[in-house]
Every structure is written in C-alpha cells, then in structure tokens.
Amino acid sequence: MAIEITNYDILKNKMLVSTAYKKFDRYITTTWAKSPNYNVSKQYTISLSTEPMQGTFLANVVKNFGFTASVTSSVATDIYADQTRYSKLTLAKDERKYSVQLYHVTEYASGSKTETFTGSGNVYEPFDTYYVVIYQ
C-alpha cells in the first residue's frame, strides 16, 4: 500500500487566448455626480510588534519585554473630470486570458507521483489597472 504525502492541483499547457485592455472592473464611486475631480489616496502602514509567549521559558526569563515599530506613508492624486457632465470613477484593468488544463497531483512516500487530468478552462491574469472617469 502506497502512503500519500501530499495532494495538490497544477495548471499545465497554458496558452494565450486573448488580451483585453482597459476592461471595466468595478465602480469606485456609487452615484453619478457633476464633479470637477476625484481624489484617490492610499495609506500604507507597516508595523512590527514582539512580545514573549505566555508560559514559555523566554517569557519567564525576560518579563515585560516589548518592541513596537511603525511606518506610515500615503500617496494621493487627483483625477480630473468634466464638471458639466455626470460622471463616475471606475477601475479598469488590462488582462490576459489563457486556456489551461488542470491536473491533480498525488505524491507518495516512495518518491513517485501521479498526475490525473481533471478538466480544462480559462484563467484571467490582470497585468495593469487604471482609474477611468466614465460619463452618463
């Protein structure tokens, strides 16, 4: 009897089918408005915190030890719109469509493995995104 170590799925025979540019992804704003611009901002926070685990030898040796560090940064930009027309801010993306085959792999303790074909289909991989103002 063979002993299984792991099971996983893999994609094979990946072939490019098509490429789409600036394909609508989703609305960023929910209502139509006569806006002169849209402000888009993103804040990034990186933090680190260390505390000894309760009940460990280290916790008993080093009591009340703690370390905290934090870095915050933000980026903002204005995207201009025609304020005489109703508009919404949307997110669009460039993406590639691939035809693929899916295989289920089982690896055994003996070092051997089996691959079983389970189906085929398409996968989509975005490679760029844009903010786009659309008008009513």
Q: Which tops the pLDDT comparison, 45 or 95?
A: 95
The residues near 53 (Cβ < 8 Å, ≥ 6 apart) are 59
The overall longest dimension of the chain from CA atoms, in Å, is 75
pLDDT at 62 over 60: no
Domain ranges within the chain, ordered by starting residue: 1-36+81-136, 39-78
Tell me: the pLDDT tens digits for 64-83? 555 567 788 888 899 999 99
Q: Minimal CA–CA distance to 87: which of 127, 51, 34?
A: 34
